[in-house]
């Protein structure tokens, strides 16, 4: 019997080569394929007259064939087929290349919906190789056609065909893991309906119904998994770490701890004193002093004869932590090492041996590193505390893997994303929360301005001035490369009123904008940084920027997590209206970290926020007037819902801050669904703690959290 776990090769026409192409996208089973949701939809339902089509993108037109198709053969043994078709506004020449078999498809008088780019020359129109669908009065054509992410060896038509085949084969495997009572309570469709209509929507309404069910499933599975993981963690054992004097640390600091830092350290100490593992997240603005709280926790573990580990998402951030903390620990008599991918092989062997050493005189007390800490040959003799930095960039899988290596150790995770209490309770159901809501005295304010394209030359002059005086500049763009073709719409465009695409200003992409800046500032060094680059490439660029070798760093939001660059004094965010408030606040925190006066310039795209009452303008005004990260987070939640806190990957998939992939959740409308799913998960687990009465649901949670995140054993 064919099931969701069946390999892709059960589909007709899929052999080893095509299966390998799918595997490169993480698609190995039929279930994986059905979860490969469209990245956008071709808006073929927006039918226009030829005279009203968009010359810069694709359009849908309803045309009547006016002439018999004729084949023209070229000397190169190639051919093209052409004919004329018309609507009330004009006549269009239709051309297909090397497709002679289409000659009989277009009889004179037949009507087709053509979709493609309409070229215009005077009063004449032309379409080359458009998609064509036969039209008959009274039979509606589907308005949206799915567009998928691809890789080499696959085409859109192939994926569409394979998805359709998978839907047909799995029609008999229609087990819905969601209890019928919950579907009825929340007015949700069945899972088979949702999967069919997310890929093959009959109309806007069916797409919205499918989307709502799949969003609910993602949140519900996540809420179940984190709640179960948290409960099992609380039932485990851990070494109780008695609080000792922290003066050896605080007396070596050049500043006094804030009340918020003291409160956070007290909460951490209280957790570590228990014989159950601490699972706590430390949340606060960039620069609020989370690292010293982590250092205090590490010191407590080491004072109790146990080892500490701190894992950072990038090598450059790990090196920064090592440079800050190693001198402090060694001055207090505790050994500390740095373990990253670039650590020489001999040094790696020495560090790993010292971590596994049982003799306290030879044992390594603390290690700071990256994913290199997760390799199989890294073992801890007496692990007491695991700290992970930048929680929103680490998946729960990595946290769990490190925790496995340090079985029963306490866990502290840090996030520079201030999160509203209401949302934090849902996102971090398995973690207790400490909030640092105070900034250290003397931290300078980054003056923030919102401008539009009319300020471009003045802005360029400001860049020139800052770099001439020795400062460095961040420029953040919302996209890596050029945006998708006009005519495609995101799922959330379809959510807008009447299903019409939202009017959006053209967006700046990092690769293209960097070229523009290089041409404008030939005397300056301009580099690009984005999520599609390899980790070592990203680290190398960031290291050059930190060393002052790069004047302007053009980046996507990957620089939200980065090193201190005290010389960086100007943050420019292009198409700022496309970012959430919390994201903008994170980006602003990248500057103002040294003695230089610093600025953040939010550039709205053309036609965006011209009126003071425009929603985008009001949002950017919040950034101009508010500097408290938690206040901004509350505003963001009220205006946009939770999507902005979930973040997004470089590949476009949405990820919650613990690491579980959310493929669809990223709109303000999802806030209600998130709250409902979390409430339902808590209520179900109160009656069936191990999901024993819901085996299909237990299997789904196990699959998501074991295979993807390693949380549940």
For residue 590, the model assigns a pLDDT of: 87
Q: Does one domain contain both 34 and 123?
A: no
Could you give the maximum distance between any two Cα atoms of the chain, in Å? 91
Task: Tell me what pLDDT residue 115 has.
Answer: 95
* 286 and 162 within one domain: no
Q: What is the mean pLDDT of residues 642-670?
A: 46
pLDDT at 359: 93
Place of tokens 């003695």: 595
Average pLDDT, the chain: 84
Q: Tell me what pLDDT residue 660 has.
A: 44
* Residue 357: inside a domain: yes
pLDDT above 50 (res 166):
yes
pLDDT mean over 552-573? 84
Assign residue 573 a region (left: φ > 0; alpha: ψ between -120 and 50; beta: otherwise). beta
The Cα 440–Cα 562 span in angstroms is: 20
In the listed set 96, 117, 141, which residue is the last one of a domain according to the structure?
141
- What is the C-alpha to C-alpha distance for residues 315 and 370, in angstroms, rounded to an integer? 6
SS3 content of the chain, % helix, strand, coil (to 5): 40, 20, 40
pLDDT tens track for 77-88: 789 999 999 999
The residue among 34, 56, 54, 38 whose CA lies nearest residue 490 is 38
Q: What pLDDT, on a 0 to 100 scale, did the predictor assign at position 581?
A: 82
32 in the same domain as 63: no
Q: What is the pLDDT of residues 485-508, one digit of tens each?
A: 556 666 656 655 444 444 455 788
The pLDDT value recorded for residue 133 is: 94
Per-residue pLDDT at 583:
82
Residues forming a β-bridge with 96: 81
Least reliable range by pLDDT among 229-238, 239-248, 338-347, 523-532: 229-238
The share of the chain scoring above pLDDT 70, in percent, equals 83
**205-229 average pLDDT score:** 88
For residues 359-373, average pLDDT: 91
269 — pLDDT class (breaks 50, 70, 90): very high
Average of pLDDT values for 386-395?
Answer: 66
Q: Are residues 471 and 454 both part of a single domain? A: yes
CB 162 within 8 A of CB 681: no
pLDDT number for residue 643: 46
Better-scored residue on pLDDT, 6 or 579: 6
Domain-located, residue 225: no
Domain boundary among 156, 173, 190: 173
Instruction: Indicate the pTM of the whole model.
Output: 0.65
CATH number at residue 159: 1.10.150
Identify the pLDDT of residue 18. 94
Split at pLDDT 50, 70, 90, the class of 669 is low
For residue 209, being part of any structural domain is answered with no
Taking the CA atoms of 634, 637, 639 and 643 in sequence, report the sign of the dihedral they define.
positive
Are residues 456 and 377 part of one domain? no
16 by Cβ neighbours in 10 Å (0-12 / 13-18 / 19+) ranks as: exposed
* Domain CATH for 505: 3.40.50.300
Tell which phi-psi region holds residue 603, choosing left (phi > 0), alpha (psi between -120 and 50) or beta.
Answer: beta
- pLDDT on residue 650: 33
Task: Please return the burial class of 263, using the count of CB atoms within 10 Å of its CB with bins 0-12, 13-18 and 19+.
Answer: middle
pLDDT at 508: 87
Average pLDDT of span 703-709:
58
Q: How many domains does the chain have?
A: 4
Q: Are residues 474 and 607 in the same domain?
A: yes
Give the mean pLDDT of 662-690: 79
Residues 343 and 354 placed together within one structural domain of the fold? yes
- For the record, the structure tokens of 322 come out as 């090592």
pLDDT, average across residues 97-123: 92
| Residue 433 · residue 295 · CB < 8 Å | no
Residue 129: other Cβ atoms inside 10 A: 16
Q: What is the pLDDT of residue 185?
A: 95
Whole-number pLDDT of residue 649: 37
The pLDDT assigned to 7 comes to 94
* Spatial distance between the Cα atoms of 402 and 631, rounded to a whole number of angstroms: 33
Within-domain flag for 323: yes
pLDDT of residue 463: 97
Instruction: Say if CB 148 and CB 39 are below 8 A apart.
Output: yes
Looking at the domain assignment, is residue 309 inside a domain? yes
314-330: average pLDDT: 91
pLDDT at residue 196 is higher than 80: yes
Is 196 a domain residue?
A: no
Percent of the chain at pLDDT above 90? 50
**Distant-in-sequence, close-in-space partners of 318: CB < 8 Å, separation ≥ 6:** 310, 311, 312, 338, 340, 368, 369, 370
Residue 139 pLDDT level (bands cut at 50, 70, 90): confident
Same domain, yes or no: 432 and 295: yes
Last residue of a domain, one of 579, 595, 626: 626
Q: What is the pLDDT of residue 403?
A: 57
The tokens for 217 are 């499933």
Say what angle helices 535-546 and 315-331 make with each other, to 10 degrees: 60
pLDDT, mean of residues 277-285? 86
pLDDT at position 605: 76
CA distance 79 to 27: 37
Number of residues in the chain: 713
DSSP 494-538: HTSGGGPPPP-PPPPBHHHHHHHHHHH-TTS-EEEE-TTS-HHHH
Residue 502 has a pLDDT of 44
Specify the pLDDT at position 612.
53
Q: Say if residues 609 and 575 touch (Cβ distance below 8 Å).
A: no
Give the angle 14-18-24 at the CA atoms, nearest 5°.
135
Identify whether 658 is part of a domain: no
For residue 267, report the phi and psi dihedrals to the nearest 5 degrees: -65, -40
Q: What is the mean pLDDT of residues 577-594?
A: 85
**Same domain (yes/no): 420, 289:** yes
Tell me if 705 is assigned to some domain. Answer: no
Looking at residue 223, its pLDDT comes to: 84
The whole-number average pLDDT for the span 104-120 is 95
In 10 A of CB 72, how many CB atoms? 10
CA distance linking residue 592 with residue 569, whole number of Å: 6
The residue with greater pLDDT, 628 or 113, is 113
Whether residues 428 and 532 share a domain: the answer is: no
**What domain range includes position 9?**
1-44+148-173
Least confident of 61-70, 374-383, 466-475: 374-383
pLDDT for position 226 = 75
pLDDT tens-digit series, residues 421-435: 656 666 666 678 888
Predicted confidence at residue 230, as pLDDT, reads 65
pLDDT at 593: 82
pLDDT digits (tens, 9 = 90+) for 434-445: 889 888 876 778
Kindly state whether residues 377 and 470 are assigned to the same domain.
no
Q: Are residues 245 and 355 in the same domain?
A: yes
CATH number, position 100: 2.40.50.140
């Amino acid at each position: 019997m064919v099931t969701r776990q069946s390999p892709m090769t059960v589909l007709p026409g899929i052999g080893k080569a095509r299966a390998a192409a799918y595997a490169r996208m993480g698609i190995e089973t039929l279930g994986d394929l059905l979860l490969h949701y469209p990245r956008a939809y071709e808006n073929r339902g927006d039918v226009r007259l030829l005279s009203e089509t968009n010359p810069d993108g694709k359009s849908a037109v309803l045309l009547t064939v006016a002439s018999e198709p004729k084949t023209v053969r070229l000397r190169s043994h190639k051919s093209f087929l052409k004919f004329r078709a018309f609507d009330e506004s004009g006549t269009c020449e239709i051309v297909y290349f090397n497709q002679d078999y289409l000659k009989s498809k277009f009889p004179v008088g037949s009507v087709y919906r053509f979709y493609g780019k309409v070229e215009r020359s005077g009063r004449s129109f032309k379409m080359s190789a458009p998609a064509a669908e036969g039209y008959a009065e009274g039979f509606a054509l589907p308005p949206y056609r799915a567009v998928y992410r691809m890789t080499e060896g696959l085409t859109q038509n192939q994926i569409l065909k394979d998805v359709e085949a998978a839907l047909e084969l799995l029609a008999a495997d229609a087990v819905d893991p969601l209890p019928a009572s919950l579907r009825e309570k929340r007015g949700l469709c069945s899972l088979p309906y949702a999967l069919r209509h997310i890929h093959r929507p009959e109309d806007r309404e069916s797409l919205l119904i499918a989307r709502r069910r799949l969003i609910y499933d993602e949140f519900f599975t996540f809420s179940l998994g984190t709640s179960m993981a948290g409960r099992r963690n609380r039932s485990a054992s851990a070494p109780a770490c008695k609080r000792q004097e922290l003066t050896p640390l605080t007396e070596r600091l050049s500043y006094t701890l804030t009340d918020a830092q003291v409160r956070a350290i007290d909460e951490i100490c209280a957790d570590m004193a228990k014989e159950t593992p601490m699972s706590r997240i430390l949340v606060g603005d960039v620069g609020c002093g989370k690292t010293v709280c982590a250092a205090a926790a590490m010191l407590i573990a080491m004072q109790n004869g146990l080892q500490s580990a701190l894992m950072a998402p990038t090598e450059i951030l790990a090196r920064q932590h090592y440079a800050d903390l190693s001198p402090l620990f060694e001055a207090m008599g505790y050994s500390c090492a740095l373990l990253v991918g670039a650590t020489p092989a001999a040094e790696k062997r020495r560090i790993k041996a010292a971590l596994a050493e049982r003799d306290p005189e030879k044992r390594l007390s603390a290690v700071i590193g990256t994913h290199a800490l997760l390799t199989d040959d890294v073992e801890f003799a007496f692990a007491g505390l695991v700290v992970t930095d930048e929680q929103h960039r680490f998946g729960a899988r990595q946290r769990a893997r490190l925790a496995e290596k340090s079985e029963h150790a306490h866990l502290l995770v840090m996030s520079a994303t201030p999160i509203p209490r209401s949302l934090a309770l849902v996102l971090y159901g398995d973690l207790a929360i400490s909030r640092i809501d105070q900034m250290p005295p003397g931290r300078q304010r980054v003056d923030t301005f919102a401008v539009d394209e009319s300020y471009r030359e003045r802005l360029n002059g400001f860049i020139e001035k800052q770099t001439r005086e020795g400062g460095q500049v961040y420029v953040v763009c919302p996209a890596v490369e050029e945006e998708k073709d006009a005519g495609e719409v995101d799922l959330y465009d379809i959510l807008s009123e009447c299903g019409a695409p939202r009017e959006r200003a053209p967006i700046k992409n990092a690769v293209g904008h960097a070229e523009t800046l290089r041409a404008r500032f030939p005397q300056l060094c301009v580099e690009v940084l984005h999520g599609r680059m390899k980790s070592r490439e990203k680290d190398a660029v960031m290291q050059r920027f930190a060393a002052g070798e790069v004047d302007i760093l053009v980046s996507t939001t990957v620089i939200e997590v980065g090193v201190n660059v005290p010389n960086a004094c100007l943050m420019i965010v292009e198409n700022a209206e496309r970012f959430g408030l919390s994201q903008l606040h994170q980006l602003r925190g990248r500057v103002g970290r040294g003695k230089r006066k610093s600025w953040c310039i939010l550039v709205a795209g053309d036609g965006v926020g011209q009126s003071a009452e425009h929603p985008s303008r009001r949002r950017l005004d919040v950034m101009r007037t508010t500097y408290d990260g938690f206040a901004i987070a509350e505003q963001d939640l009220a205006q946009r819902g939770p999507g902005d806190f979930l973040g997004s990957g470089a590949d476009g998939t949405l990820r919650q801050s613990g690491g579980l992939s959310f493929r669809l959740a990223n709109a303000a409308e999802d806030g209600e669904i998130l709250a409902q799913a979390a409430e339902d998960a808590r209520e179900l687990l109160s009656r069936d703690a191990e999901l024993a009465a819901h085996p299909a649901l237990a299997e789904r949670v196990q699959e998501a959290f074991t295979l993807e995140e390693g949380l549940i054993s």
